[in-house]
Structure 1
Amino acid sequence: MSRSDRILADAEAVLRRHSERGQSLSARARQRRNAGLMRKVKYAVAAVLAILIGSAVAGFVMPLGTSGVMIVLGLIIAALLLVALIPAERRVRTEALAQTALPALPLQTEIWLENQRRALPAPAVTLVDSIGVKLETLAPQLERLGEQEPAAQEIRRLLSDHLPELVTGYQSIPAPLRREERNGRVPEKQLVEGLAVIDAEIARMSETLASGDLDKLATQNRFLELKYQEAKELGQ
């Protein structure tokens, strides 16, 4: 096996292990919601402490009395209500995907997909989970990709145009008609087939980007081998 073949084999093994460890879209969404809830708890504790400390300081200057205590309780309740209104995880609007920076686009697309899953049939949800795992793999690869590169534009079109149009197009069809054949096509089947194509396309893009990195690594290795050989010849 050549050096480049070994590099490719190692990369495929890493990607395979990563895929096996990959969590479903819903599991990662749960983690984000739990993290958001913890942030809300911290905000609530901080707000209550600030009010209590402020009221204690004010009490040293002037006794609060019954009305003062009621005001403090009112402030605490108001602060808790305000914190409760903060969403645990912000929603991503469809139109916002097109304005998202490329490195952040996979995560924002994943959050957007999670927000849509309740309106999707079971076979589509399975594909949505698969897409979410692939987006997690794709995200770090995009950090080194320039916005104007053809690959970046292709990825942006897929994630911010084609994918949302497919899902929102399906959702715009009345629920009773989604499983009915019309002009030889069934909307639910079209959705599932379209998501399968997008799932495969994201995998292809990720592999292409990885191959580019591997090609660069192989070139660097050949350059180092050449320099090493030249050094050996000079030492003879």
Structure 2
Amino acid sequence: MSEVDDKVGRALARFDRVMAVVDEKQGPVATQARRQRQRSLATYGRALSKAALVVLVVSVLTILVGLFVPIGIMGFVAAVALAGGIAAMLFFHDVLQEVAAPTVPTDLPNGEMVQRFDSFLYKSRRALPAPAQTVVDGISEQLGTLKQTLERVDTLDPDAQDARRLMSVHLPGLIERYANVPTAYRAEADAEGKTVDQRLVEGLEASRSALGEVNERLAKRDMDAFQTQGRFITSKYGGEDGPA
């Protein structure tokens, strides 16, 4: 009987691995990967733009100085080296920030914070157990709409503050603390009979629900504003006798 159970367990494990690969190629993970590639390309683009601007500025300054003071070949070489050094430093600074360990700073604008949070989830996902990955995918699916609504809201708005704390402090802290627990201890039950993996899933589920509620409140606020404006225009200009 145990041999049959072992075969069934191995078959289910193979099935889970196959489905994980399918999800990564076609499911929500593919969408996350596409957004991550877009963010990386934008980072490289900004870094190249900064580097090109530095080269341009140094070149213009070198030409202006050369009009009044002969700089000679050594001065030209020094200017080229200076421009190249500064450009490379700026470029690699921005690129290394992109590939560094995922973090979500607390001082970002709303829209940028959502993007950094999405990147954090994408980079952290593989280290989580399968049930937690499913919840993370659900959180990522909410972020497109959340970004649209948060970008129109002030940073100090109470709903925005709730979302910002969750994205930059609470949820990253939960995942980081989970990563600190040795793998051998994650299956041990606590005083309430729940394992570390189960606690992680519960925390992620609560986070997904909280972000969904914030998203819904912000969207309802926009809908109410639209309906109020529509009723005002209808009452003012939509009478039978035309505009008042």
- Fold-level similarity (TM above 0.5): yes
Match of 1:34 in 2: 41
| Comparing 20-29 and 208-217, the one that deviates more | 20-29
Match of 2:149 in 1: 141
Match of 2:114 in 1: 106
Partner of 1:182: helix, strand, or coil? coil
User: In the TM superposition, what are the counterparts of 1:32-181 in structure 2 within 5 Å?
Assistant: 32-51=39-58, 62=70, 64-65=72-73, 67-68=74-75, 71-72=78-79, 74-88=81-95, 89=97, 93=103, 96-97=105-106, 99-100=107-108, 105-117=113-125, 119-142=127-150, 143-144=152-153, 147=156, 149=158, 151-178=159-186, 180-181=187-188
Cα deviation for residue 173 of structure 1 reads 1.1
| Paired letter, 2:85 | A
Structure 1 unmatched ranges of 5 or more: 1-19
- State the distance in 2 between where 1:38 and 1:225 align: 47
Match of 1:11 in 2: none
Instruction: Compute the TM-score of the two structures, normalised by the length of structure 1.
Output: 0.63
Name the CA shift for 1:216/1:56 in 2 (closer, same or farther; >3 Å).
Answer: closer
Contact persistence 1:24–1:132 (CA under 8 A): no
Contact persistence 1:29–1:114 (CA under 8 A): yes
Name the CA shift for 1:206/1:81 in 2 (closer, same or farther; >3 Å).
Answer: closer
Structure 2 unmatched ranges of 5 or more: 1-26
| Paired letter, 1:201 | A
- State the distance in 1 between where 2:160 and 2:62 align: 55
Cα deviation for residue 195 of structure 1 reads 1.6
Match of 2:212 in 1: 203
Count of residues paired in the alignment: 210
Contact persistence 2:48–2:91 (CA under 8 A): no
Cα deviation for residue 42 of structure 1 reads 2.7
Contact persistence 2:155–2:161 (CA under 8 A): no
Instruction: Compute the TM-score of the two structures, normalised by the length of structure 2.
Output: 0.62
| Paired letter, 1:181 | E
Name the CA shift for 1:215/1:45 in 2 (closer, same or farther; >3 Å).
Answer: closer
- The percent of aligned pairs where both chains have the same amino acid is 29
State the Cα RMSD in Å. Answer: 4.1
Partner of 1:86: helix, strand, or coil? helix
Contact persistence 2:189–2:195 (CA under 8 A): yes
Cα deviation for residue 226 of structure 1 reads 5.6
- State the distance in 1 between where 2:225 and 2:61 align: 60
Greater RCO (Cα-Cα under 8 Å, separation 6 or more): 1
Cα deviation for residue 196 of structure 1 reads 2.8
- State the distance in 2 between where 1:128 and 1:190 align: 14
